[in-house]
Amino acid sequence: MIDFKEETAKLLADLIAELRADEIREMIEIPQESRLGDYAFPCYRLAKARRTAPQSIACEIAGHIAAAAIFERVEAVGAYVNMFLKKSALIGAVLSAAASEKERFGGGDLGGGRRVIVEYSSPNIAKPFHIGHIRSTVIGNAINNIYAFLGYDTVRVNHLGDYGTQFGKMIVAYRRWGDREDVERRPIRSLLAYYTRFHEEAERDPALEDEARLAFARLERGEAEERALWQWFRDESLKEFNRVYGMLGISFDSYAGESFYSDKMDRVLALLREKGLLRESEGAEIVDLAAFDMPPALITKKDGSTLYITRDIAAAIYRKEHYGFDKNLYIVASQQNLHFRQWIKIIELLGFDWADDCVHIPFGLVSLDEGTMSTRAGRVVFLEDVLNRAIERTREIVIEKTVNTDNVDETARQVGIGAVIFQELSNNRIKDYVFSWDKILNFEGETGPYVQYSHARASSVLRRDAPALAAALADTDALAPALAGSESAYALAKLLYRFPDAVREAGEKYEPSVVTRHIVDVAQAFNKFYHDERILTDDETEKRAKLALVSAARQTIGNGLRLLGMAAPERM
Ligand code: ARG
């Protein structure tokens, strides 16, 4: 697609010897109000350099570039040069790019095939996959999709919490109160009940904790009995996780979790020792981080067992050696900020120059109206139950609203799950939010159902005249002038034009909500266009032009939805 901002920067650069083209590009603004043009260039900096009034510089520049082919008009207003693009030029660029790039429209080759590891979801096995896990799972999946779309070679890693002292507790609890059949019937719910009981009873009987430590030590040594129990817990848990991933349409390239690194600990300890970073402290080993204003990192416990942070250090080193990453991203809750700051600092202290390429991408809390949930207290809301309830509720709404009832099941699934995903990705990730059914299933608000419905509406318009659509997409070149007079067509085209920028910004900031918000804007602009204009007019050129624009809008909304990990229904 023609980069009009770049073209504008070049035109300005010819007139401004004091600034480089890339500096000029940085300075070009996109005004909030369309009456101030498509681009605006402030002249303050130049005024300083030239010791001239910015107003007169603005006038001078405006006079020089007014005749350029990409502009309809150029105005000097105060210290600003306001530039209005030729509407047909912008519309034409959008129509042809969307028609030729299709599923790739909005993406590109920014990444040049460089490798990015995206670690997300990473639940703990034998524990519920609860509503709190939705954040890392859905945000991480969207970030992965965005990076892949931008031309990076992404690797999706699920760093399962499948190791650690809690498995000692789990093993002890199962031995004491467990029942094999129970576990086979309802694996996680049963294991959770035992685990909860462990904590209750351990308050009265501290000896249980010692027993659990022992069981974990045996597991770490690879004793057959503990190992088999652990493996069984892991297999059963993964079955349950995969059921939920299946519902969300999410998959991973690697499930190498914490246990995968259990035989890579000695190397970490040796490296730390070699650099003189390990200190003994009451029988345990730590890395002192006081110089960096952080509490010490506990690397091995008194009994020699390693910890969560030790495994993260090993995992990062392994990933660098095995995958040769350019970036190693961790989508993990902000409660773990300190943990990540600690171990990334340790990677740096070990002398690895790629420490900066490890990026923690934190997010805030999700709570339900009933309050947040905790595994310990046993008050848990399973993600699978939430998704099923979303599907059920959507089914009721769909049956009530829809004309087309042959695919209620499929629609309810796509829209119900989509609604949950969309709400998750609507706000800046760092914000806490409250999960609310009324908000997410509203078909009129800024919601998943609304955006999906807009996609279905566009699809339905396009179905009404397939031959005209085919002709339009085969040759978009001459169509744009037929739309240049429509305010709502231009407003829509401008948003479509900016979709690639929104995707890039979302990638740079690790912020999928930039895409979410952009496609809400596109859906609203599309619906306005749909209401303002008769699309299937008698004038063949005008009809084709309008269909090409509807098709570009549909493509953009669809590409955006898929980036977020949602379905883009053809009918609703
Ligand atoms: N399993 C951890 C949890 O549920 C999250 C793991 C995050 N990833 C990491 N590399 N530490 O809290």
Q: Give the model confidence (pLDDT) of 495-535 as tens digits.
A: 999 999 999 999 999 999 999 999 999 999 999 999 999 99
Residue of 120, 134, 336, 376 to mutate, ligand 1, most atoms within 8 A of C-beta: 336
Nearest CA to 117 out of 288, 356, 319 is that of 319
Q: Residues enclosing ligand 1, CB less than 6 A?
A: 119, 122-124, 159, 161, 312, 330, 332
If you measure from the C-alpha of residue 152 to the centroid of ligand 1, how many angstroms do you get, rounded to a whole number? 24
Burial-class residue 456 by CB neighbours within 10 Å (0-12, 13-18, 19+): buried
362 vs 482: CA distance, rounded Å:
47
Residue nearest ligand 1's atom 4 by CA: 123
Please state the atom number of ligand 1 nearest to the C-alpha of residue 315: 10
What do you get for the CA distance between the two ends of the chain, in Å? 32
Whole-prediction pTM? 0.93
Cα(121) to centroid of ligand 1, in Å? 8
Supply φ then ψ for residue 180, to 5 degrees. -55, -45
pLDDT per residue as tens digits for the range 54-78: 999 999 999 999 999 999 999 999 9
Average pLDDT of the residues in 158-168: 92
Nearest-CA residue for ligand 1 atom 5 is 122
| Separation in Å, CA 198 to CA 201, 203, 208, 302 | 5, 9, 8, 23
Helix residue spans in 16-74 (DSSP H): 21-27, 44-50, 54-65
Closest CA to 247 of 390, 118, 136: 390
Atom of ligand 1 nearest to the CA of 340: 11
Parallel/antiparallel/unpaired status of strands 366-368 and 358-361: unpaired
Residues 6+ apart with CB under 8 A from 31: 37, 38, 39, 40, 82
> Of 464, 458, 441, which is closest to residue 523 (Cα–Cα)?
458
pLDDT band for 493, please (50, 70, 90 cuts).
very high
Whole-number Cα distances in Å, 438 to 296, 377, 441, 443? 45, 27, 6, 10
What domains can you pick out in the chain, each with its CATH number? Answer: 4-85 (3.30.1360.70), 116-277+303-367 (3.40.50.620), 397-564 (1.10.730.10)
Residue of 118, 134, 157, 159 best suited for mutating to test ligand 1, as the one with most atoms within 8 Å of CB: 159
Distance 119 CA to ligand 1 centre (A): 9
Spatial distance between the Cα atoms of 302 and 210, rounded to a whole number of angstroms:
13
Residue 456 — very low, low, confident or very high, per pLDDT cuts 50/70/90?
A: very high
Question: Has residue 374 got a pLDDT over 50?
Answer: no
Please identify every residue annotated as catalytic: 127, 130, 133
